[in-house]
Structure 1
Amino acid sequence: MSVQVRQATVHDLDTLVPLFDGYRQFYGQPSDPHGIRAFLGARFAHHQSVILLALDGQGAGLGFTQLYPLFSSVRMVRTYLLNDLFVAPHARRRGVAAALLREAAAHARALGAASLSLSTALDNAPAQALYESLGWQRDRQFCEYGLAL
């Protein structure tokens, strides 16, 4: 399968919305194309994230990843949170996720970032195996916490 990965723009919303909807439904959320279009449109309008889009040879959407810029105060460097990664069911196990992860790393490097980070479910062994095969390392020094507001 031929896979092209490029940075998405607001003009890609028609391709991104169904992919993002599939991503949210994978995590048990209801379908909400209108809300997704507004959410992604705001990210583009305010330059709050970078979305990388994977396309097949005919330009159909295969998957995406979304990066949010962060900064490490201690290290005084830019980092990125790889917050979302999704591949359409018909395109899985064809190298799309690996292509998105490689492009995310290249994009962050090109912008001078010191690192990328992500979180995944403890029982998501396939994703963990993919990450580790591409050089990602599990954090063994810090525990991650959250506070619902």
Structure 2
Amino acid sequence: MHNVRAAVLDDLDALSALLDDYRQFYQQESDLNGVRHFLSQRFGLGDSFILVSEDVEGNVSGFVQLYPGLSTVGLNARWTLNDLYVSSGSRGQGAGRALMDAAATLAREHGVARLVLMTQVENERAQRLYESLGWQRNTAFHSYLLDVNKG
């Protein structure tokens, strides 16, 4: 059983290590200082919700990060579940499921109508988890990206 709770500033070191690992999973260079700065901004600005899971020893073993947003069409709140990561040693023990359940509960408590997420096409393990929790693949819309820093 994993305890899931809101992240606090005292979690910054453990959370930074996890976020750095998460970024490396997505083929980004390790940048622990950059990650720490980014998370410090999130805590300072309060512009995201970060939940952490703790293993049986009380160590932070995973996290989920949600960014609030709005839907013009739905005239309601819609949060983006942008990040989910569980340390390699805690995978397969229910931490990811516990974090996803806690994210849905938090959204309901805030009156959020819908959670949305994107994952890499190759990330089949995550897709199985999402679908087992009732998430549905969006086939009605295409997703586009624009890197505004490239000419």
Task: Give the TM-score, by structure 2 length.
Answer: 0.94
The count of corresponding residues between Structure 1 and Structure 2 is 148
Contact 2:50 2:66 in 1 (8 A): yes
Name structure 2 gaps, 5 residues minimum. none
The residue type paired with residue 36 of structure 1 is V
Name structure 1 gaps, 5 residues minimum. none
How well do the aligned residues superpose, as a CA RMSD in angstroms? 0.9
Offset at residue 11 of structure 1 (A): 2.2
Q: Percent identity?
A: 47
Q: Residue in 1 aligned with 2:53?
A: 54
Q: Residue in 2 aligned with 1:89?
A: 88
Q: Structure 1 stretch 119-128 or stretch 96-105: which is displaced more?
A: 119-128
**Aligned-partner Cα distance in 1 for 2:14–2:124:** 28
Q: Residue in 2 aligned with 1:6?
A: 5
Deviations 1:76-117 (A, max 9, x none): 101110001101001111111111000000001100000100
| Structure 1 residue 131 corresponds to structure 2 residue 110 | no
Q: Residue in 1 aligned with 2:116?
A: 117
Q: Residue in 2 aligned with 1:41?
A: 40
Task: Give the TM-score, by structure 1 length.
Answer: 0.96
